[in-house]
Amino acid sequence: MSPDEQNSLPTFLQAEKAGWDELEGLVESLSPEQAETTGYLPGWSVKDFLAHVAGWLSEASLALEQIKAGTYTGGDVDVDARNDTFVDANRDQPLSIVLFEAKMTHRRLLHHLHDLTDIPPSAVASLRKAGPRHYAEHLPRLREWVAELRSKESPPQ
């Protein structure tokens, strides 16, 4: 996405919907056992990936709330530490809870985005970690991993 497109709310929302729809479809095509199988990334299952996505969606929503309230300070974030926090906080949760959390944080972000007329420049960095660019970083591996998991399924008898 070009810098101008990053700030175009309609373009962002269109890309966001396409990325989310594919991500959600791939995740929901898995059984709970498949979604909890480690290997999506080293040490991560698809459930862990969902916790990661939900965490960044929540962070972006919070940034938009703070921008609207005039209290946003931005700043650097230790991405690896935040990823560890998101995943570790959900490791013992069942898939249904983590999937629900991801869907709710996604809806919350959309709610905030639909209140805007354009994307504030101060929100671009947060949205990079939680929107279509983030999905695009993960979708190729998610497609591969889902295909790999499906190839291991027992044929129906």
Flag whether 132 is in a domain: yes
Flag whether 156 is in a domain: no
Mean pLDDT estimate for the chain: 92
Host domain of residue 9: 3-151
Residue with tokens 């991993």: 145
Q: Per-residue confidence at 1, pLDDT binned at 50, 70, 90?
A: very low
* pLDDT tens, residue by residue, 10-41: 999 999 999 999 999 999 999 999 999 999 99
Q: Is the pLDDT of residue 5 over 50?
A: no
Q: Compute the chain's Rg from CA coordinates.
A: 16
Flag whether 34 is in a domain: yes
CA atoms of 94 and 143, how far apart (whole Å):
22
Cα–Cα–Cα angle for 29, 33, 39, rounded to 5 degrees: 90
CB atoms within 10 A of CB 28: 9
Q: Is the pLDDT of residue 3 over 80?
A: no
Flag whether 93 is in a domain: yes
CATH (domain of 26): 1.20.120.450
pLDDT for the residue numbered 7: 64
Number of domains in the chain: 1
Half-sphere exposure at residue 125, Cβ-oriented, CA atoms within 13 angstroms: 10
CA atoms of 124 and 135, how far apart (whole Å):
15
pTM of the model: 0.91
Flag whether 118 is in a domain: yes
CA atoms of 71 and 32, how far apart (whole Å):
40
